[in-house]
Amino acid sequence: SVCLGDSELRLLRRFSAQILERGISTLCRNDNLFRVHPSITQALSENRPVVALESTIITHGMPYPYNLSTAKEVEAIVRAEGATPATVGLLRGRLHVGLSPEELDYLAQSKTSVKVSRRDLPYAISQGLCGGTTVSATMIAAHRAGIPVFVTGGVGGVHRDGENSLDVSADLTELGRTPVAVVSAGVKSILDIGRTLEYLETQGVCVATFGNSKNFPAFFSPQSGFMSPYNVRNAEEAADLIAGTLSLGLQSGLLLAVPIPEEHAAVGEEIEDAIQAALAEARAKCIRGRDVTPFVLQKVNTLTRGKSLQANISLIHNNARVGSHIACALSERML
């Protein structure tokens, strides 16, 4: 045993207090980087269905106040269908799974929120930024929280002329590496749909159209003319796909493409013309990279006098219903 004098003991105490303090503060910061709302932790621990939702659609995809009302409606639909909504977003450098009404409100009105995909996460977290998470960043958060079903409007894809610009959405590589099922209305015809499907095949992503046909939907239109490799006829068949992926331990995601309901698809052709005009303007204005999608969405909405926004909202509502049914069917298999 060692005998320490008073002054040595004082020094030791101060030193260990410092270590303790620094150690704990580092620990707290790291724990706080990823926050799962208690309602979601609770639901997951009881094997109840949970549906993850993204937030770039709120911060960059739709204008205020439609972004906020849609986000709230989507959460309400998920609840009405018997599942718990988990909207993902970045708040002061922390990745949140599940947002309070005040937090949703903040993201919907904020003009400084950034668009956060996988590559943006390290910087946005280190700088304590607020942001809307894209499909790729939302998949990361959903997987970490243990949520296998995620609903959005449309996923990113290979941009037109992508074979030259190499503008390929990080959503596609994320689908190749993260085991989450993404429910969407396919990809917008602002993108190169044929190349998007080719790229998804290369990434090993199982793509299935929801319904009786394999026709892959193009967001505003129920049919793109391109085919999904598969189709699932109902929520049970979709849940079987997800259950198989999880039980095999495949580390890749699934893309479930839900066609827009016929009654909302009428404006499809008018929107297609607006898309052509918006793409031409984006090219003329040299808009590139992550700014392309938000620019084109906004332009198309103006050109169609809000009709594209209406169609967008309707298809997201529909996706939320279908996604919730799938989450419910999946959780029944796990009970």
189 binds ligand PSU (CB under 6 A): no
Q: For residues 167 and 174, which CB has a smaller minimum distance to Mn ion in the complex?
A: 167
Name the active-site residue from 81, 174, 188, 299.
188
Binding Mn ion by CB under 5 A: which of 167, 171, 174, 192? 167
List CB contacts of 267: < 8 A, sequence separation 6 or more. 220, 304, 307, 308, 310, 311
Considering only the stretches 55-63, 175-183, 241-249, 327-335, report the one whose residues sit in contact with ligand PSU under the rule CB under 6 A.
55-63
Binding ligand PSU by CB under 6 A: which of 50, 53, 61, 258? 61
Residue 292 CB, shortest distance to Mn ion, in Å, is 6
Name the active-site residue from 54, 75, 81, 174.
54
- Residue 11: alpha-carbon gap to chain centroid: 52
Binding ligand PSU by CB under 6 A: which of 81, 120, 171, 192? 171
Give the tokens for residue 56: 């770039």
Residue (of 159, 190, 163) closest to 172 by Cα position: 159
188 binds ligand PSU (CB under 6 A): yes
Cβ atoms within 10 A of the Cβ of 168, count? 19
222 binds ligand PSU (CB under 6 A): no
Exposure string (b/e) for 104-137, b if CB count within 10 Å is 16 or more? Answer: bebbbebeebbbbbbebbeebbeeebbbbbbbbb
Write down the H helix ranges in the chain: 6-32, 38-45, 56, 66-80, 101-109, 121-126, 135-145, 162-165, 170-177, 193-202, 235-248, 268-284, 292-303, 307-334
Give the tokens for residue 272: 């297609």
* Cross-strand partners of 221: 218
Active site residue 188: yes
75 binds Mn ion (CB under 5 A): no
Considering only the stretches 83-91, 92-100, 276-284, 289-297, report the one whose residues sit in contact with ligand PSU under the rule CB under 6 A.
289-297
Residue 167 CB, shortest distance to ligand PSU, in Å, is 8
Considering only the stretches 72-80, 222-230, 231-239, 290-298, report the one whose residues sit in contact with ligand PSU under the rule CB under 6 A.
290-298
174 binds Mn ion (CB under 5 A): no
Residue 171 CB, shortest distance to ligand PSU, in Å, is 5
Q: 244 near 226, Cβ under 8 Å?
A: no
153 binds ligand PSU (CB under 6 A): yes
Binds 217, which of ligand PSU, Mn ion, none (CB < 5 to 8 A, cut-off by type)? none
Instruction: Tell me the residue number closest to ligand PSU, measured at CB.
Output: 61
Q: 165 near 192, Cβ under 8 Å?
A: no
Q: 132 near 117, Cβ under 8 Å?
A: no
Q: Which residue has the tokens 């018997």?
A: 82
Active site residue 54: yes
In this structure, are strands 94-97 and 84-91 parallel, antiparallel, or unpaired?
antiparallel
Binding residues (CB under 6 A) for ligand PSU: these are: 54, 56-57, 61, 134-135, 153-156, 169-171, 188, 290, 293, 297
Q: Active-site positions? A: 54, 188
Interacting residue ranges for Mn ion, rule: CB under 5 A: 167
